[in-house]
Amino acid sequence: MGTFTFYASPTSSGNLLQDATVSLAVSPTTAVVNLANSLPGASASGTVNVANTGTVDAYYFVSADWSPVSPTTAYQAAVLANKAQVSAAVESSPAFYTGPLDGLRSLPSPGIFLPSPTSQNVTFTVSLPSGTGNVVQGMQLSFDFLFVAEQA
């Protein structure tokens, strides 16, 4: 008895593989909030423009990174980062974060949607609450707001 083998070769046309770019541009790249020599009760605000310069829609997340300014120690800076309060809001929307500076990490979840190619403003208000007292007197820290994007 003979063996018959059947081979099929389907054709699929129009397939495409194309790369995409996820990219954010923030401006200004200089300090937007300055609370130098401030007392409890002081606050300052600044705005950052976030632009989706990539080729696809994206979600972005915001974090705060901070470090001591000499002669403040790392421990003292941690105390100050916990006492300092930050509020972050996109344009005219309610704040997506309000709390201690050291708690602003990869927020909000699931991210802020930003279509390509558009931009929006994020306003940060940083304050030292009036009830802070003398525990942070003379302490200094520097901080950055970090923006990270992922494809939508």
CATH number for the domain spanning 109: value is: 2.60.40
Tell me whether residue 139 is exposed, middle or buried, using C-beta atoms within 10 angstroms of its C-beta: 0 to 12, 13 to 18, 19 or more. Answer: buried
pLDDT value at residue 23: 94
pLDDT value at residue 11: 67
Question: Three-state DSSP class for 34?
Answer: coil
Number of domains forming the structure of the chain: 1
Please report whether residue 4 resides in a domain. no
Please report whether residue 117 resides in a domain. yes
Please report whether residue 137 resides in a domain. yes
Please report whether residue 92 resides in a domain. yes
* Model confidence, pTM: 0.86
pLDDT along the chain (152 residues), means of 10: 61 74 94 89 95 96 95 95 96 95 95 97 96 88 95 92
Q: Which residues of 25-47 are buried (b: 16+ CB within 10 A; e: fewer)?
A: ebeeeeebbebeeeebeebbebe
Show the DSSP H helices in the chain as ranges: 74-83
Please report whether residue 18 resides in a domain. no
pLDDT value at residue 121: 98
Please report whether residue 1 resides in a domain. no
Q: Which residues of 67-87 are buried (b: 16+ CB within 10 A; e: fewer)?
A: ebeeebeeebbbbbbebbbbb
pLDDT value at residue 92: 85
Please report whether residue 62 resides in a domain. yes
Task: Please give the residue range of the domain that contains residue 86.
Answer: 24-151
Encoded tokens for 72: 């403040």
Q: Are 103 and 52 in contact (CB under 8 A)?
A: no
Please report whether residue 6 resides in a domain. no
